[in-house]
Amino acid sequence: MDVMRWAVAGVFGLVAGTIVSATAQAAPPVPSDAEVAARVEAVLGRMSIEEKIGQLTQLAGGLFPDAPKPADVIRKGGAGSVLWLNDRKEFNALQKIAVEESPSKIPLLFGLDVIHGYRTIFPVPLAMASSWDPAVAERAQTVAAKEARAAGILWTFGPMLDIARDARWGRIVEGAGEDPFLGAAMAAAQVRGFQGPYLGAPDHVVACAKHFAGYGAADGGRDYDPSYLPETRLRNVYFPPFQAAVKAGVGTFMSAYMDLNDVPASGNRFLLHDVLRGEWGFQGFVVSDAFAVRSLVTQGFARDGRDAAFRALHAGVDMDMASNTYADHLAGLVKDGTLQLADIEAAVRPILAIKVRMGLFEQPYTDESKFAQVVALPEHRKEALLAAQRSMVLLRNERRLLPLAKTLGKVAVIGPLADSQEATEGSWIVFDHTPAAVTVVAGIRAKLPGAKIEYAPGPEIQRDIASPFAQSTKPAQTPEQAKAAFRKAVATARNADVVVMALGETADMAGEAASRASLDLPGRQEELLEAVAALGKPVVLVLLNGRPLSIGWAAEHVPAILEAWEPGSEGGHAIADILFGDVNPGGKLPVTIARKGANEPLYYARNLTHSPESGERYTSRYWDGPTTPLYPFGFGLSYTTFSIANLKVAAPQVKVGSPVAVTAEVTNTGSVAGDEVVQLYIHQKAGSDSRPMRELKGFERITLKPGEKKTVAFTLGPDELGYWSTQAGKRIQEAEAFDVWVGADSFATLHADFAVAR
Ligand code: NOJ
């Protein structure tokens, strides 16, 4: 069938400028690969070269007033996609121009960053990784996709899959933390959530695995600085989440901003061509990060815009996000023979294929009447609540201060984030969205309707250098106002039976362009915490933050600490549920918490490169303070206790290529039901390369009633036991001896040995 006719056959019609649905419609049949390819060729066959280059161009819809007017460009067939726009009416108006007025009538793909929810906001991705439950991330992104799709967005720039081992890097909040195994599980789950069972599934969107690759390893944790990653580390640590996304069928990739080993990621043919398409067989399309094609000039890589367009396309960037470099230069490059038309067409094909698969040729418009109904669905809030509850990590609970009694008469809720909807929803919410979260204060008030809940924010906190994304122009508190706020907070705490302190970072303190040198509580929060603790009242510290913070003083002096991260729309309810015992916390850290920023990068899976026999004095450390983690990777407490015992490896020896089963018994030894995340770590004792002291290779979150016992089973096969070797120059599995540990965090002590043999 001719694609043109399909476009007109769409069941939506334009009525007085508003798109309405004619009838409830059945999902169109899923086209086969051959059908998709045939339709792509049919469209391609009637496009001019200008239109082909147009498909490779993504226009900035908002944000940049000086950018070319989208409508004019679209009318000429000069754009394949639009970003930074979030307005259903405008989407439909622009789409109408594309499908009715542009020469080949190719629909636009509207893309936007929907990172952890569209209207219903979920915990930030770092928090969702703390659930150690991929189903949490999958369900969250299913809801995010449904709302985004109803809002007219068909493509999200997520999931963010950058391994982050340096908490100074602000974008650690957007990913799943430091570990490739956990990261890969979260990557696949998010792709499934966003895209559904197949590309084009109703109520789903196209996902984008970003930022390929190595962005999280920026020198010194400074955003946008170069990364230097030897191939062993790239392949063993930074690639696995991306490869997992490809296996899960992710439709698109985004090339990163920075130089990777002196070659910009957006001009990096090794990454985008050799590995992504060659080795992994990725069939979708690659979009650059915003302005990254033009930036090849700034990076001292391309001579000028023309050279940048050539080098990005040649490397494998199909779509130029916002920089217009392809639009300005590709036609000239074809004209003078530097590029062939076939090079352009090779980039256009996967873009058209995604549009075909998403059903855009049949249904280019968004039904504007559906949105209100979709975002009001009560199950969305329920999912957000569950995700928040499962994401929180109990770091400390001395003398079982938690859970608190619901019979408390007077509770003081103190801290600059305690009633902040922005901080509760967290970093990177959708463009144009107004935060509307349940705050800590609101959550506690709802939980204890009869109690006296008094709230005092204390001194404000803010970045020393404002965020480039800052919207507020509110003047900062004067030193006098801050002093008065401090006094009032202490006085409020003095009156209470229990004090809940909500401290951490504001939403703009983590995320893009939000790196910091210190990991301390910013502003005067620590001073306030110490002053309140000195009152001798029971104090619970609730952390709202997008990166791990070095809370060394609190870890010794504050009896209860809950890492709530940035928990989203239902955050305050989830926090109150945990503080008052309706929910037993079971999250675990997806990152090591360092004692100070200067200890970063700090992660558990490091190599031991100097013998500990040489004594304490010659171990890896600084002389001005321990470098051991404040809290290790995988750590988290519960209101109950667990024992993990009876570790068994099915056979003492296993053949290369064969799987071996590992089991352990977990018992709830306390008096309430609870969750334990059982974690398996391995270490290859010798080989062609030295291997990390421990690597996570299995985990399972299980729920046990008091006294209940379960056997948890893991399988170690070539995927878990092999690695990419520097010596061999390829991925290998060696016949060597292994340690295996199973336990409740990366310090697990329950140990067994086994060997792999030829
Ligand atoms: C820049 C960010 O690095 C990237 O993560 C995002 O998707 C794009 N801008 C689009 O907003």
Q: How confident is the model over 98-131, as pLDDT tens digits?
A: 999 999 999 999 999 999 999 999 999 999 999 9
Give the Cα separation of 495 and 585 in Å (integer).
28
Q: What is the pLDDT of residue 482?
A: 97
Q: Residue for token digits 């959530």?
A: 193
Question: Taking the chain, what is the end-to-end CA distance rounded to the nearest angstrom?
Answer: 56
Which domains does the chain show, CATH number per domain?
1-54+69-79+86-111+349-376 (no CATH), 385-467+477-599 (3.40.50.1700), 640-757 (2.60.40.10)
Could you tell me if 282 and 244 are in contact, meaning their C-beta atoms sit under 8 angstroms apart? no
pLDDT at 19: 45
Using DSSP's 3-state secondary structure scheme, residue 236 falls into helix
More confident residue, 61 or 324: 324
Using CB distances shorter than 6 Å, the residues near ligand 1 are 113, 157, 210, 289-290, 512
Which of 703, 128, 678, 126 has the alpha carbon at shortest distance from 383?
128
Q: In this model, does residue 498 exceed pLDDT 80?
A: yes
How far, in Å, is the centroid of ligand 1 from the Cα of 75? Answer: 26
DSSP character at residue 612 = G
Name the residue with tokens 């999902």: 27
pLDDT value of residue 26:
62
Closest CA to 599 of 619, 625, 618: 625
**507 closest CA partner among 428, 625, 614:** 428
CA proximity to 517, closest of 186, 172, 112, 222: 222
Least confident of 20-24, 258-262, 351-355, 639-643: 20-24
- Give the model confidence (pLDDT) of 526-584 as tens digits: 999 999 999 999 999 999 999 999 999 999 999 999 999 999 999 999 999 999 999 99
| Residue 72 clears pLDDT 80, i.e. is over it | yes
pLDDT at 265 > cutoff 90: yes
**Residue at token pair 């930022």:** 211
Cis before 211? omega within 30: yes
In this predicted structure, the answer to whether residue 12 has a pLDDT above a threshold of 70 is: no
Among 321, 323, 429, 469, residue to substitute to test ligand 1 (most atoms within 8 Å of Cβ): 321
Catalytic residue set: 289
Partners of residue 709 on adjacent β-strands: 667
Question: What pLDDT score does 475 carry?
Answer: 85
For the chain, helix (H) and strand (E) counts, in that order, are: 24, 28
Report how far ligand 1's centroid is from the alpha carbon of 251 (Å).
Answer: 17
Residue nearest to atom 7 of ligand 1 (CA): 157
> Ligand 1: which of 173, 289, 323 to mutate, most ligand atoms within 8 Å of CB?
289
Output the pLDDT for position 471: 73
Three-state DSSP class for residue 731: strand
Instruction: Return the beta strands (E) in 276-340 as ranges.
Output: 285-288, 320-321
- pLDDT at residue 25 is higher than 60: no
User: What is the pLDDT at residue 20?
Assistant: 40
Taking the centre of ligand 1 as the mean of its atom positions, its distance from the CA of residue 290, in whole angstroms, is 6
pLDDT level of residue 427 (50, 70, 90 thresholds)? very high
- Which residue's alpha carbon is at the smallest distance from atom 11 of ligand 1? 113
How do beta strands 452-456 and 410-414 pair? parallel
Quick one: pLDDT band at residue 612, thresholds 50, 70, 90?
low
Radius of gyration of the chain (CA): 27
Q: Burial-class residue 181 by CB neighbours within 10 Å (0-12, 13-18, 19+).
A: buried
Mean pLDDT of 287-297: 98
State which of 64, 82, 114, 157 you would mutate to test the pocket of ligand 1, scoring each by most atoms of that ligand within 8 A of its C-beta: 157
Query: What pLDDT is attached to residue 613?
Result: 66
**Cα of 140 from ligand 1 centre, angstroms:** 20
7: pLDDT strictly greater than 70: no
Cα(619)–Cα(560) distance, integer angstroms = 32
Distance CA 636, CA 645 (A): 18
**Quick check: 142 pLDDT over 50?**
yes
Predicted confidence band of residue 175 (pLDDT cuts 50, 70, 90): very high
Average of per-residue pLDDT values in the chain? 94
Residue 146's nearest CA partner among 387, 366, 422 is 366
210 CA: nearest ligand 1 atom: 5
